[in-house]
Amino acid sequence: MKIAIRAGAISPFLERGLRLARGLRFRLTLSYVLFFSVLLVAIGLFFRQTLRSEMNGDEQALLEEEWGAAKGYMRIENQRPVWVADSTDPEEAYIVDRLRHIYLLTDANGYVLENSETYDSIGEDSPQEIARILGLPKPEVHIRRDKKGIPYLIKAGAVRDEQNQLYFFALGRSLEGNERTVSGFTRTYFLLLPAMIALTSVAGWLLAGRSIRPLDSVAHAAQEITGVNLSTQIPNRGANDELDNLIDSFNLMTRRLSQSFEQIRQFSTDVSHELRTPLTAIRGQLEVALFTAETTEQYREAMVNALEDVEKLSSIVRALLLLSQAESGQLVLQKTPLNLASVAADVVDQFQIPAEEKGLTLTALLDEGTLALADRTQIERMLSNLLSNAVKYTPKGGSINVRVGLDPEHTGWVRIVVEDTGVGIAPENLPHIFDRFFRVRNPQTNKIEGLGLGLSFVSWIVSAHGGDIHVESSPGKGSRFDIRRPAAPVAPQTATEPAPESVTP
């Protein structure tokens, strides 16, 4: 029997809980609840303190009044307090009675002359304390607690009898009522607090859900996007907020992906088409050799034709391989200090014979001080592709001109121009001429051989050297390929051999 133990297996319930706890909604709610809990506790404590000090302030104002009244109603005669109140006036009697509720009178040494029962439970002031208070310029107000812990507001200070003898007098008011109100408030508030936090949590959960709902819809829309509907765009909510920003960036990304997918699709179609043509031709030639050829001459002709097509096929594959190596970064440029004029002179020389054969004039104006840090092989390939096109697409009697020199408009840049008086390119085709396998299809160019890869190479070589290429062309008049790129920071003597000032046929 086999017993399978799943390492780290957790119950689906726990797993769901963990996923929820890690979720943005939960974390948003948690921070919201934490923030509000701290705020509610702080508000409660603040109100509690405010309530207490407000009520104690009222109590102190009453104590001040009573202090004044006590000094009016009490006289000290023969070291004894005498409370003078009109015994026929019940109100006065009540006031004096009230004043005598919490009080203490001692002589300057702390010997108690009279005190109330309540003051007794608070505890008499020590002689040191009495001496301290008697030494103060003004009476002092402080809080003291009795044996049961009930707080009292006490005002204590010096009073004098008619012989100007000093006595210690203390008068108090109970703060028990205030304390009860404050603790009642505290109890109710903090009992209600969990309910308020629970309410805040529910509100926070709902609010967090509401704020991340658009995220869910974006995620949902993103999940719907596959390789076949990459052009699908997530609708922008028009709020112009961070989420809209994210949606726009996402849409931009899918647009770019869609374009890349489209290019790959187009490329596959083009490659298969380009490969099929010579393959069909080879197959045709082989069929001729197999089924219809009778003489050695006919066999030979079929084989030669098949070989030509094989050659064409392998040149397509070679070019494709090189282009893909270039574009994937595998083809590393071997940059050396180069005299561009000298390189151009060599390439122009190679094209003199084909140009002459076609009845074309090929001229060059090359500034020998045109130095650049560049890959010689690639620069030669670039010039040779441009010149081969110029020769191919310029009818008999036309002219081709190559110019290499410093760029007068951009200091520190060099410029290579190849122009011809050929068939030109229609404006609608111009944006596509650098695409792989793109060839202009018209009666003038249909018979001209080509793979549609030459300008793709030119484009890659220019950008790999940090330059840019600009094309101007008008059908029937000619084309001009204008390349600009930064010059090399090299000294003239480090460059390869100097080029002639100009080369003419």
Q: Which residues bind ligand ADP (CB under 6 A)?
A: 385, 389-390, 393, 420, 422-425, 433, 438-440, 445, 450-456, 479
H/E run at residue 281: helix 242-287
Q: Which is nearer to ligand ADP, 66 or 420 (CB)?
A: 420
Q: Which is nearer to ligand ADP, 110 or 450 (CB)?
A: 450
Residue 438 CB, shortest distance to ligand ADP, in Å, is: 6
- The DSSP call for residue 487 is P
Residue 402 CB, shortest distance to ligand ADP, in Å, is: 12
> What is the token pair recorded at 54?
């407000």
Closest C-alpha to 499, from 356, 382, 340, 350? 340
Q: Which is nearer to ligand ADP, 17 or 395 (CB)?
A: 395
Residue 341 CB, shortest distance to ligand ADP, in Å, is: 22
Residue 390 CB, shortest distance to ligand ADP, in Å, is: 5
Residue 415 CB, shortest distance to ligand ADP, in Å, is: 18
Q: Which is nearer to ligand ADP, 106 or 456 (CB)?
A: 456
Residue 435 CB, shortest distance to ligand ADP, in Å, is: 8
If DSSP codes are grouped into helix, strand and coil, which group holds residue 450?
coil
Q: Which is nearer to ligand ADP, 193 or 451 (CB)?
A: 451
Q: Which is nearer to ligand ADP, 74 or 423 (CB)?
A: 423
**Number of Cβ atoms within 10 Å of the Cβ of 147:** 9
Give yes or no for a contact between 200 and 36, defined as CB atoms under 8 angstroms apart. Answer: yes
Q: Which is nearer to ligand ADP, 255 or 276 (CB)?
A: 276
> What is the token pair recorded at 127?
């002689």
Q: Which is nearer to ligand ADP, 67 or 481 (CB)?
A: 481
Q: Report the residue number whose CB is nearest to ligand ADP.
A: 450
Please report, for residues 261, 446, 454, the alpha-carbon distance to residue 274 in angstroms, rounded to integers and kept in the order given.
20, 15, 15
Give yes or no for a contact between 451 and 468, defined as CB atoms under 8 angstroms apart. Answer: no
Q: Which is nearer to ligand ADP, 172 or 398 (CB)?
A: 398
**Number of Cβ atoms within 10 Å of the Cβ of 345:** 21
Residue 450 CB, shortest distance to ligand ADP, in Å, is: 3
> What is the token pair recorded at 284?
């045709």
Q: Which is nearer to ligand ADP, 372 or 440 (CB)?
A: 440
For every residue of 97-143, DSSP letters joined together read HHHTSSEEEEETT--EEEE-HHHHHH-PPPHHHHHHHHTSSS-EEEE
CA 209/CA 32 separation, integer angstroms:
12
Q: State the residue for tokens 């840049």.
A: 413
CA 163/CA 78 separation, integer angstroms:
10
What percent helix, strand, coil does the chain show, rounded to 5? 55, 20, 30
Q: Which is nearer to ligand ADP, 179 or 270 (CB)?
A: 270
Q: Which is nearer to ligand ADP, 179 or 435 (CB)?
A: 435
Give yes or no for a contact between 328 and 462, defined as CB atoms under 8 angstroms apart. Answer: no
E-state strands within 27-110? 74-77, 80-83, 103-107
Give yes or no for a contact between 118 and 146, defined as CB atoms under 8 angstroms apart. Answer: yes
Residue 464 CB, shortest distance to ligand ADP, in Å, is: 17
Residue 452 CB, shortest distance to ligand ADP, in Å, is: 4
Half-sphere exposure (CA, 13 Å, Cβ side) for 264?
A: 7
Residue 422 CB, shortest distance to ligand ADP, in Å, is: 4
List all residues 6 or more positions away from 169 whose beta carbon is below 8 Å from its beta carbon.
Answer: 70, 103, 104, 105, 156, 157, 158, 159
Residue 258 CB, shortest distance to ligand ADP, in Å, is: 25
List all residues 6 or more positions away from 180 whose beta carbon is below 8 Å from its beta carbon.
Answer: none
Residue 359 CB, shortest distance to ligand ADP, in Å, is: 16
